[in-house]
Amino acid sequence: MDDFQTGEETAFVVDEVSNIVKESVENTIGGNAYQHNKVNQWTSNIVEQALNSLTKLSKPFKYIVTAVIMQKNGAGLHTASSCYWDNSTDGSCTVRWENKTMYCIVSVFGLAI
């Protein structure tokens, strides 16, 4: 139970995760303009969709998904993150998406169990 079998791919595949995230972002806010009364819904939606799709992969991973939607108002935003983990099996992926009225930044951290 504690020793897992390394039968399948157990490293964090950035591209795959990135595509999943892009899809979930597109489906939620693709083509919409920033509306402050809907943004809450959107962020939750993005995170949920992404997480659901990631869990469907059935990989032995713990996932942490964060989503940030920022209205394009001329402000600057600067974030950074770092992790202390097993570099060979764990990984993270950050997807930046924008349209005319807002930015959306989604980060996924995957930690091998």
Partner 1 sequence: MLSRKEELERKKAKLQAMRDEKKKKEGDRVRKKEEVETLEGHKDVRAETDQLLKDLGLTTVDKPKPTAVQPPIDGSQPVSSSAASTGSQDSGDAAQLSACPSPRRIGRLGLSKVTQTNILPKEQVTYTKQTQTPSETIDNKQGGSLDYYDEPYVHHAFEWEDEFHEGCSFDSEFSYEEGDMSLPETPPILKHHHLPHVEPVKPAEGSNDEPPAEEEVVPPRELSEEEQQQVMKSEEFARFFERASKVVERALCEDSDILKDYAGSSDNEGEGEKDTGARLSLNRTFFDERWSKHRCVTSMDWSTQYPELLVTSYNQNGDATHEPEGVVVVWNQKFKKTTPEYVFHCQSAVMSATFAKFHPNLVIGGTYSGQIVVWDNRLNKRTPVQRSPLSAAAHTHPVYCVNVVGSQNAHNLVSVSTDGKFCTWSLDMLSQPQESMELQHKQTKAVAVTCMCFPYGDVNNFIVGSEEGLVYTACRHGSKTGVLDMFEGHQSPVTGIDCHLAQGQVDFSHLFVTSSFDWTVKLWSQKDNRPLYSFEDNGDYVYDVRWSPIHPALFATVDGMGRLDLWNLNTDTEVPVASINMEDGAALNHVRWSQSGHQLAVGDDMGKVSIYDVGEQVAVPKNDEWSRLVHTLQELKNNQADAEDVTSTSNTGSPMPIR
- With binding defined as CB under 8 A, does residue 92 bind partner 1? yes
Q: Using the rule CB under 8 A, which residue among 16, 79, 97, 110 binds partner 1? A: 79
Which residue from 39, 51, 57, 70 is in contact with partner 1, where contact means CB under 8 A? 70
Question: How many alpha carbons fall within 13 Å on the CB side of residue 99?
Answer: 12
CB closer to partner 1, 48 vs 90: 90
Phi, psi of 62 (to 5 degrees): -100, 135
* Residue of 101, 106, 84 lying closest to 18 (CA atoms): 106
Closer by beta carbon to partner 1, 10 or else 45: 10
Q: How far is residue 36 from each of residues 51, 70, 72, 83, measured CA to CA in Å? A: 23, 10, 12, 32
Residue 30's closest CA among 52, 46, 18?
A: 46
**Judged by CB under 8 A, does residue 16 bind partner 1?**
no
Asked if residue 87 binds partner 1 (CB under 8 A), the reply is yes
- Where on the chain is the footprint of partner 1 (CB under 8 A)? 2-3, 15, 31, 70, 72-92, 94, 96, 99-100, 103, 105, 107, 112
